[in-house]
Amino acid sequence: MIGCDCSTCRSDDPRDTRLRPSLFVRGDDGTSVLIDAGPDLRAQALTHRITRVDAIVFTHGHADHILGLDDVRRFNILMRQPMKLYGDAVTLDEIRRTFGYVFDPGTPRGGGLPQVELTLVQGPFAVGGLAFVPVPIMHGQRQILGLRLGPFAYLTDCSAIPESSWPLLDGVDVVVLDALRHRPHPTHFSLDEAIAAARRIAARQTYFTHMCHDLAHAATTALLPPGIALAYDGLRLDVPATPMAA
Ligand SMILES: [Zn+2]
Ligand SMILES: [Zn+2]
Ligand SMILES: [Zn+2]
């Protein structure tokens, strides 16, 4: 956190240095998709040497999940095509508003504008060999998109899972779940709420994401039950298409 000298912010543990949450998914056929494009997209793409992005799927339109969008210009050049952007109606509106210059025909060309194609998510969809199932979750008062890919689910920015979404999580093997801090928060799971949700999902492995500096990596890890861990920047997961037998 800017201007903070708490023990997490001063920590030498690299897992306590956290950029904004997002996910890069690569399928067996090479199809590569970003889930969210936060302000750190450029730094993350450089660090992890990402050279291919076929599409970006947005969970919602908050600043920490969309403000890297201008950097798709580089992927437009690498991929020689517009970037496909997927999101629900509210999120696509937020993208159009926040990046008004991208969608304004009056913006002078030549300086390099992101080339994008918006696609409204209304149900399951596929990008190449990656099949996505939207899992509606609550982020405070607002419904946003969790995402399921086969045996894997990504549920960031979540404060509740509606009853109707639970069947969509049946049989999940690995799940990434929001856990902001110890104290309750109106739009994010607290650590205890996240542990309770993880127990009900009952995946083989759960990773928590979107932690704030209240949750130091090592100290928090010591509190977690088996099968639950904190994610960290650069964490790589191999999720087999067929879940492993218990
Ligand atoms: Zn701090
Ligand atoms: Zn959010
Ligand atoms: Zn967020």
Give 201-228 pLDDT, tens digit per residue.
999 999 999 999 999 999 999 999 999 9
In the block, which residue shows the tokens 């109106």?
186
Q: What is the whole-number distance in angstroms between the Cα of residue 91 and the centre of ligand 3?
A: 13
**Positive or negative CA dihedral for 32, 37, 42, 44?**
negative
Q: In which residue are the tokens 């040497």 written?
A: 49
pLDDT at 246: 44
- Mean pLDDT over each residue of the chain, to the nearest integer: 96
194, 199, 204, 208 alpha-carbon torsion, rounded to 10°: 10
Q: What is the pTM of this model?
A: 0.96
Is residue 51 classed as helix, strand or coil in its secondary structure? coil
Centre of ligand 3 to C-alpha 109, Å, is 32
CA–centroid distance, residue 216 to ligand 1 (Å): 9
The bound ligand whose nearest atom lies closest to the alpha carbon of 211 is: 3
- In tens, the pLDDT along 140-195 reads 999 999 999 999 999 999 999 999 999 999 999 999 999 999 999 999 999 999 99
- Distance of CA 105 from the midpoint of ligand 3 (Å): 30
Residue from 162, 174, 170, 171 nearest 25 by CA: 174
Average pLDDT in the 67-96 region?
97
> Which ligand neighbours the alpha carbon of 212 most closely?
1
Name the amino acid, one letter, at 56. I
Contact between residue 133 and residue 124 where contact means Cβ atoms under 8 Å apart: yes
Q: What's the CA gap between 30 and 37, in Å, rounded?
A: 19
How many Å lie between the centroid of ligand 3 and the Cα of residue 29?
Answer: 29
Backbone angles phi, psi at 86, to 5 degrees: -115, 135
Classify strands 142-149 and 152-155 as parallel, antiparallel or unpaired.
antiparallel
Distances (CA, A) of 213 to 7, 49, 59, 195, 223: 9, 27, 23, 18, 16
Distance 147 CA to ligand 2 centre (A): 15
d(CA 126, CA 231): 26
**Cα–ligand 3 centroid distance for 137 (angstroms):** 13
C-alpha of residue 140 to centroid of ligand 2, in Å: 9
Closest CA to 67 of 89, 92, 90, 99: 99
* Cα–ligand 1 centroid distance for 3 (angstroms): 8
Asked if 21 contacts 38 with a C-beta cutoff of 8 angstroms, the reply is: yes
CA-CA distance, 169 to 151, in Å (whole number)? 9
Residue 242: pLDDT band with limits 50, 70, 90: low
Q: 62 C-alpha vs ligand 3 centroid, how far in Å?
A: 6
Q: Which two tokens stand for residue 75?
A: 């992927």
- Measured in Å, residue 44 CA sits from the centre of ligand 2 at 19
